[in-house]
Amino acid sequence: MLNVRKLALTSIILLILGSTLVVLAVRQTEAQTEYAIDIRGYTWNHSTISVSIFPRENESWWEPSYLNATLRGIAQWNDAIQEFASNHTEFSYLSRTSLVPTITHEVASGFDIYIGWIAECESEATIGQSRAIVKSPCIMIDNTVCLAAKAPSGHVMTEVDMQNIVVHELGHTFGLYHCSYSGDVMYSTVHYRETVKPLSSLDLYVLSQIFEWMSNSTQFTSSNTCPQESSVTLPSNISYYHFPIAAENLPLPTPQNLAEYTIGLFLRPEILTAILIAVTLLTVAAIILKRRKKPQEIHMK
């Protein structure tokens, strides 16, 4: 009986130790992460930025959901800007910044940002592109965003894919480049996902640095300082966190069959942890029962 108790106690200790090591490893990884984004060194000279969206409704590859995804991506940025400015009053000037979309059905002019689509991109690395025209000293005069409906691998962009790509490319139209942290929407590689990626405090902090001239004036003048092309790191007094996405800015969930739902359910971290604990406890219980039922040896004198 003593050996059985020792075995059960050892199993429980190993389970607790294993869980503790996993938590410590995750925390250590988080502590070592540097949150930084490169910036291109230019800015807009005004805070209300107009966006022309040109859907390709007559094309066979066009999906109406792409337009919806684009509008939601714009709303994501606008919501995050307002929340960041509200949470961090030293950057309240950022609240004057907004993207104003207009759907156009013919080639238009007079906008700051132009968003359009092509059937297929040249490579997996260019599923979205942003090209800025900049005049001296550092002012963007327009920016063209090109989005692909299909990748060379054959992957057709879903509504979620498109929204994630739009949010990423809009970051480029603000002057953000790429992020050092793979969990951020501004990371250089955009993976096809089942969920929309949220914007982060890092994205908005860097945006506040690009638009820092707004803290002193409503229009960029010769007395303002251009943002320098550099890597901007999230300061220690601002934690890295994600902004919640409003329900109206999320696509409707696609129906799943029973097998997909079951697999997705079992792959959730909390479910996997519960299964691990349950299996460990059942194993210990089975060993204890087996030892108790083992026939005792009878020694004949």
Nearest to 148 by CA among 171, 125, 128, 132: 128
pTM: 0.76
Cα angle for residues 143, 65, 187 (degrees, 5° grid): 50
Instruction: Tell me how far apart the alpha carbons of residues 154 and 92 are, in angstroms, rounded to a whole number.
Output: 44
Chain segment 186-236, per-residue pLDDT in tens? 999 877 888 999 999 999 999 999 999 999 888 888 778 899 999 999 999
Instruction: Indicate the length of the chain as a whole number.
Output: 301
Report the sign of the C-alpha dihedral through residues 105, 109, 115, 118, in that order. positive
User: Residue 161 has what pLDDT?
Assistant: 96
Q: What percent of the chain has pLDDT over 90?
A: 63
Tens digits of residue pLDDT in 161-187:
999 999 999 999 999 999 999 999 999
pLDDT of 25 strictly over 50: no
Q: Which CATH number fits domain 33-254: 3.40.50.10800, 3.50.30.30, 3.40.50.2300, 3.40.390.10?
A: 3.40.390.10
Q: Where are the domains of the chain?
A: 13-31+260-293, 33-254
Q: What is the dihedral of CA 65, 69, 71, 74, to 10 degrees?
A: -170
- In the chain, DSSP assigns E strands to 36-39, 48-53, 98-103, 113-118, 128-135, 139-148, 176-179, 230-233
- Model pLDDT for residues 28-64, shown as the tens digit of each residue: 434 447 899 999 999 999 999 999 999 999 999 999 9
3-state secondary structure at position 12: helix
Q: Name residues whose C-beta falls within 8 Å of residue 254's C-beta, 6 or more positions apart in sequence.
A: 158
Q: Where are the alpha helices (DSSP H) in 239-296?
A: 258-266, 269-293
- Predicted confidence at residue 16, as pLDDT, reads 46
Kindly tell me if the per-residue pLDDT of 146 is higher than 70: yes
Q: 18: Cβ–Cβ under 8 A, 6 or more apart, which residues?
A: none
Give the highest mean pLDDT range of 15-19, 130-134, 191-195: 130-134
